[in-house]
Structure 1
Amino acid sequence: MRIIVSGGGTGGHIYPALALIRTIMQKHPDTECLYIGTEKGLESKLVPRENIAFKSIHITGFKRSLSFENVKTVARFIKGVSRCKKMIRSFQPDVVIGTGGYVCGPVVYAAAKLKVPTIIHEQNSVPGLTNKFLSRYVNKVAICFDSAREFFDEKKVVLTGNPRASEVLGKSNRQVLQTFGLKEQLPTVLIFGGSRGARPINEAVVKSFTRFAQKNYQVIYVTGDVHYEAVEKEIALVGEKENVKVVPFIHNMPEVLRAVDLVVSRAGATTLAELTALGIPSILIPSPYVTNNHQEKNARALSEKGAAFMLLEKDLSSTKLIEMIDRILLDKDQMIKMRIASRKLGIPDASGRLYEVMENLTAVSH
């Protein structure tokens, strides 16, 4: 089998793509894969590390306001489609899969015009401009939130879940808490704001340090590399606390997620897929700076089912954050209810489901 995969811009588009590729390689070790991304995107670093062939195109996203840059974007799209058609004719893929980000636009569109079977994967509850555009041309649209159905042609839609979720599953081992100098038996909350961190979350957590020290639970607090030094200076003023551990980044996130009882985070699609796969209760602070406010809509998909509490950034404070953490970690009945609700929203074997969609599509085309 020969496949082309495209996805870029953020880890939320790239990690599901890599998870799917790993699943395909496990089932068909002789599969040849080409990943098409942008040269400056995160994918240009992550994909080659996985020993996956990588090629790049130059493309930018549309501005939502009137701008001359949009004229340039159209020109780049046309040029990108032409370049992608050459790559596709040369590689001869059985299927082309787009996992999001504007780089998918010319790649998947070119494949559809060449009559190659195509799939797009939408991780969010509300699709971005690129997937809305591509949905008119592709054979199948894979979604992660049932609420995303309304944006696409129902005949094309398949609920698969997020392939990244399959990779966090595994046996829980609370001994990993010892690597942070924490105790295995105490309830534990993990707080993070994404790979780069989030300043408003950092500020609320720093102001909570003294009160955290009085609690019968413990905190792992991930600042993000960019903010770590500044946060360390703030912490030095109040003094370190035994039950609060601060780190810039966590490389073994799946292992840590399996060991904690509660997560406080943004509401990115990949994070939510991981939380629901593991059945972890959460406090979600959606980023208000994302396209179409999709993180708030993602968060509502969990909070309305009782799997999470949603805390808007404009309402975020140390007092409110601690109050919500207490309501969950210090109430066993609340914890159990939220765990059950979260697990119900998880979609098992998402990678396998998306693989089946791909396999069925290629079987029909042959």
Structure 2
Amino acid sequence: MRLLFSPCGIGFGHIGRLIPLAHRLKSRGADVLFSTYGEALKYARKEGFPAIQVPEIELKVKEDGSVDLKRSLTDPGPFLIHYILLKQICAELRVIKRYKPDVVVSDTRASPIIASRLLDVPVITILNQFNIIIPRKKRFLRLSRWADHGSIAVLSKIWASSDKVLIPDFPEPYTLSEGNLNIPERYRRKVEFIGPILPSYPDQLPSKEELREKLNVEEGKKLIFAPISGPSKEKYPFIKILREAFKGFPEEYKIVMSIGEPEKPFLLWNDERMKVYGWVENRFEYLKACDLIVSRAGHETLMHSICYGKPIILVPTPSHTEQLINAKKAFDLGFALVLEQAKISRETLLKSVEKIINSSFRDKVREINLMAKRFNGMEAALREILAHVEYRAYC
């Protein structure tokens, strides 16, 4: 059994849900190869998987870490974007021809899907964005029209050309990515909501009390976990703001921050109340042990928040439409507070922390957590991949 995993390389959200799948399949005797770029390439290799680098498409970022939407879509420009996409397709064609996978698994990348279709190889796509939304602001109006009627609109047709589309989210009314999942009726037969793909579920870990003791969280302290990841230019301005805001928090709080650097799995900065790590291998232990989460509004972090029953304070990346949509839905569901990055200070952050700890947010996230326990995205994805491998073997 040979499997090719091709995730989007921006940040750790996409690669983060494929790595657990890859480990499980490898334990069953599968031969696994990754084709990707950026942070995902480094992470796949760190996890011990062979990984081939393919041409990169990146988001442009301003000095404050916000997404520069206009430059992202116009620099290098539509013609050069198409050229890069063509290079990606050619790279994936070469990989598939040499590696001869039984199944290709794409996570939010179009080029592996196109290459798989051209070579008649089964392809499963995992994504939580069927559409890309451009803000209907005056300065983005031409871009939004181009997106609706141009190249970006073609993406939904590419996703739907997969043999199966797996969405690691919950069905309505709990769909966090609903604003990005306007799926045409003709494609819905191929789509399945499977819930999040997690390497560790809460009931597989020791109790919260045991974990707090292991992690040296003193009795009576409130543990805040801040897992920050994403492209370097996007996350570092936010990390600086967050560190300054956490300074001087009352003694009753203990803060642990991870800044999404897998090559630095050690303590970078430490004081009486706050520890900053480059990377924490035991992320899910901190998720279970903590009282609340502070993070960007990435889809995977929100899924983890629900599955571990933790309220969350969200600071969406400015101008990042997916995160803004995720944050609004989480707030509407009642388990999250949302802060603008430009308005973060010690006072505003502490006020939000106190509000979320001492209110109905905890009860609401526990209520949603009961619904989440009906889903196991890991097992659902494994079944789908193995079914396609078996079907191909008989064809």
| TM-score above 0.5, yes or no | yes
What is the CA deviation profile of residues 214-242 of structure 1, one whole-angstrom value per residue up to 9, with x for unaligned ones? xxx3131427389xxxx97xx9xxxx65x
Are residues 1:134 and 2:131 paired? no
SS at match of 1:5: strand
Q: Which amino acid aligns with 1:249?
A: G
Match of 2:336 among 308, 333, 348: 308
Q: Which amino acid aligns with 2:378?
A: S
RMSD: 3.2
1:206 and 1:79, CA in 2 relative to 1: closer, same or farther beyond 3 A? closer
| CA-CA distance at 1:109 after TM superposition | 1.0
Identical pairs, percent: 19
Query: Normalization by structure 2: what TM-score?
Result: 0.74
Structure-2 residue corresponding to 1:269: 299
| CA-CA distance at 1:279 after TM superposition | 1.2
Query: Normalization by structure 1: what TM-score?
Result: 0.80
Q: Which amino acid aligns with 1:357?
A: E
Match of 1:247 among 265, 268, 276: 276
Structure-1 residue corresponding to 2:105: 97
SS at match of 1:87: helix
1:189 and 1:125, CA in 2 relative to 1: closer, same or farther beyond 3 A? farther
Q: Which amino acid aligns with 1:159?
A: F
| CA-CA distance at 1:135 after TM superposition | 1.1
Structure-2 residue corresponding to 1:32: 31
Q: Which amino acid aligns with 1:71?
A: F
Structure-2 residue corresponding to 1:256: 286
What is the CA deviation profile of residues 280-322 of structure 1, one whole-angstrom value per residue up to 9, with x for unaligned ones? 11111111143xx111111222221122222233443433322
In 1, Cα distance between equivalents of 2:374 and 2:342: 31
SS at match of 2:182: helix
In 2, Cα distance between equivalents of 1:137 and 1:225: 33
Match of 2:126 among 112, 121, 126: 121
Deviates more, 1:116-125 or 1:294-303: 116-125
In 2, Cα distance between equivalents of 1:350 and 1:156: 16
1:22 and 1:248, CA in 2 relative to 1: closer, same or farther beyond 3 A? closer
In 2, Cα distance between equivalents of 1:247 and 1:81: 39
In 2, Cα distance between equivalents of 1:199 and 1:187: 26
Unaligned ranges ≥5, structure 2 = 60-70, 134-151, 170-174, 262-267
Unaligned ranges ≥5, structure 1 = none
Are residues 1:297 and 2:321 paired? no
Does structure 2 retain, via aligned residues, the 8 Å contact 1:24–1:31? Answer: yes
Q: Which amino acid aligns with 2:95?
A: M
Deviates more, 1:319-328 or 1:263-272: 319-328
1:135 and 1:185, CA in 2 relative to 1: closer, same or farther beyond 3 A? same
Does structure 2 retain, via aligned residues, the 8 Å contact 1:174–1:184? Answer: no
Are residues 1:220 and 2:219 paired? no
1:52 and 1:272, CA in 2 relative to 1: closer, same or farther beyond 3 A? same
Structure-2 residue corresponding to 1:46: 43
In 2, Cα distance between equivalents of 1:67 and 1:362: 40
Deviates more, 1:204-213 or 1:257-266: 204-213
| CA-CA distance at 1:151 after TM superposition | 3.3
What is the CA deviation profile of residues 33-92 of structure 1, one whole-angstrom value per residue up to 9, with x for unaligned ones? 221123xx2233222233323222224359654455443332333243234223323322
